[in-house]
Structure 1
Amino acid sequence: MSTQAFGIDDLKRILLEAAGADEGVDLDGDILDTEFLALGYESLALLETGGRIEREYGITLDDDALTDAATPRALLDVVNAQLTASASV
């Protein structure tokens, strides 16, 4: 289990590993508040991304929380909240 914060670079890496990237989508731009649908990631891609995050960081993420996180910033908040909760147990 990682004790580091989960950052945007971690998310970009895992998104690319899990689902690749649509042509014309620049993940290197300011994407924090861009909806995942606009970035080309639908719910199935987010569930795969969530599974990879769970395995790599040793946490459990609620499927509803994953699909409700409409932007990278929202997903970062969900993951970091779970990391914090896991660290305090």
Structure 2
Amino acid sequence: MARPKADFPPAVAIRALADSQGRLALRVTPGARVEGLELGEGKLLVKVRTKPEDGKANAAVLELLAAALGLATSRLRMLRGATGRDKLVQILD
């Protein structure tokens, strides 16, 4: 069964959550039933199906965020939170 395509908020709305240095706060839910992005209070809520094993969930988070922003994953850098649910990602322009 094909999994449904994730719904994304507009890229402009996602970028509006970033600070002046392009840093974006994320709250991640790994192992979710459905992948998606939601705008939260000052942070982006990210749900990925991938389980948090060997950095696979972090890679899935960056891929999902890059797709929502229309960027390559190389344009994103995880600054903080590699082992936690709260992460800080920088958008490199």
Q: Structure 1 length normalisation: TM-score? A: 0.40
Higher strand proportion (structure 1 or 2): 2
Higher helix proportion (structure 1 or 2): 1
Compare relative contact order (CA 8 Å, sep 6+) and give the higher one, 1 or 2: 1
Q: Structure 2 length normalisation: TM-score? A: 0.39
